[in-house]
């Protein structure tokens, strides 16, 4: 899965490391109905919700509000499989924090649909092909294409904002046909991204810092199911703290995070330079990828592809 937050916030640039946090990924679980070949989190049907309890997650959200976090994305694994998701959404909303759920949309419980509508939650999902067979080849679930497609339509009918990221995994993948199918369903926010070398997409080495978009050198953070804090969901081996041992504020003020943000900023300086003005409708550079930034400022190469 590739990640695009799409929430309307603008994090500090990678060249000017932030000192706080305006956006959080909360990775609630490693459990997922799918077994995607490229899954950055190595999630799947045999994984668990980790060691974070509901109260632990509520405490993180409390800390986030105090720090000034404006937006949270609940992710996984499949976050809708976590029994506390509605409670966590309600709590974040009560503190004035905007929320988005990144779901595979294979199955959404009735209470979650109601929560999404009541608290103006955005939905995001990944999609792969207009052909069920190709979708199955990537996700490992023969029902995923049908159910995800149906639930995209259901979300749109309920007035829930939906973003879709088409992840280019296969050489012969029907990306443009998938884009057209989604547009026909009424999806207006459609992006295309490539696979990040993390999790099952990279079993030999850590994700090279130079492949990151660079925004995690700024004021964004990810909290994992075991309480570990990392700069983002792709930096799986770069630990900067643990919310089961210290507060989110302490993590933000730690030298470990400062060092990590500096290293990421240095490694992605060229990426950020392209984002800051060199990219345009006619000229773009592969360094402009990935598009996992928590904002709307992403460059479009010629032809509108990402």
pLDDT, position 213: 75
pLDDT, position 238: 86
pLDDT, position 65: 96
Task: Give 10-residue mean pLDDT values along the chain (306 residues).
Answer: 40 44 94 81 85 98 95 95 97 97 95 97 94 91 95 97 88 91 95 68 66 81 95 86 95 93 86 51 41 37 30
pLDDT, position 199: 58
3-state secondary structure the chain: CCCCCCCCCCCCCCCCCCCCCCEEEEECCCECCCCCCCCCCCCECCCCCCCCCHHHHHHHHHHHHHHCCCEEEEECCCHHHCCCHHHHHHHHHHCCCEEEEECCCCCCCHHHHHHHHHCCCEEEEEECCCCHHHHHHHHCCCCHHHHHHHHHHHHHHCCCCEEEEEEECCCCCCHHHHHHHHHHHCCCEEEEEECCCCHHHCCCCCCCHHHCCCHHHCCEEEECCCCEEECCCCCCCCCCEECCCCCHHHHHCCHHHHHHHHHHHHHCHHHHHHHHHHCCCCCCCHHHCCCCCCCCCCCCCHHHCC
pLDDT, position 194: 66
């Amino acid at each position: 899965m590739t990640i695009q937050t799409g929430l309307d916030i603008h994090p500090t640039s990678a060249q000017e490391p932030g000192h706080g946090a305006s956006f959080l990924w909360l990775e609630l679980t490693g459990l997922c109905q799918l077994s995607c070949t490229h899954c950055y989190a190595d999630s799947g049907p045999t994984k668990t919700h980790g060691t974070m309890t509901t109260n632990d997650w509520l405490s993180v959200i409390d800390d986030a509000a105090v720090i000034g976090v404006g937006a949270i994305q609940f992710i996984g694994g499949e976050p809708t499989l976590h029994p506390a998701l509605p409670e966590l959404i309600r709590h974040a909303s009560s503190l004035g924090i905007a929320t988005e759920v990144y779901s595979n949309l294979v199955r959404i419980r009735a209470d979650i649909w109601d929560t999404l509508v009541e608290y103006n939650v955005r939905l995001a999902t990944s999609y792969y092909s207009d052909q069920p067979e190709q979708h199955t080849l990537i996700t490992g679930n023969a029902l995923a294409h049908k159910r995800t497609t149906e639930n995209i339509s259901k979300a749109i009918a309920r007035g829930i904002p939906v973003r879709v990221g088409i992840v280019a995994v296969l050489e012969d993948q029907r990306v443009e046909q998938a884009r057209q199918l989604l547009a026909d369903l009424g999806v207006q926010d459609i992006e295309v991204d490539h696979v990040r070398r993390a999790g099952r997409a990279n079993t030999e080495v850590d994700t090279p810092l130079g492949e990151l978009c660079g925004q995690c050198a700024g004021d964004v953070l990810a909290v994992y199911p075991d309480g570990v804090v990392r700069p983002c969901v792709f930096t799986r081996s770069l630990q900067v703290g643990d919310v089961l041992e210290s507060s989110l504020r302490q993590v933000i003020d730690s030298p470990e995070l400062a060092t990590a943000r500096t290293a990421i900023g240095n490694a992605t300086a060229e990426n950020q330079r392209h984002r800051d003005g060199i990219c345009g409708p006619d000229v773009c550079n592969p360094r402009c990828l990935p598009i996992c930034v928590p904002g709307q400022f992403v460059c479009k190469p010629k032809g509108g592809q990402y």
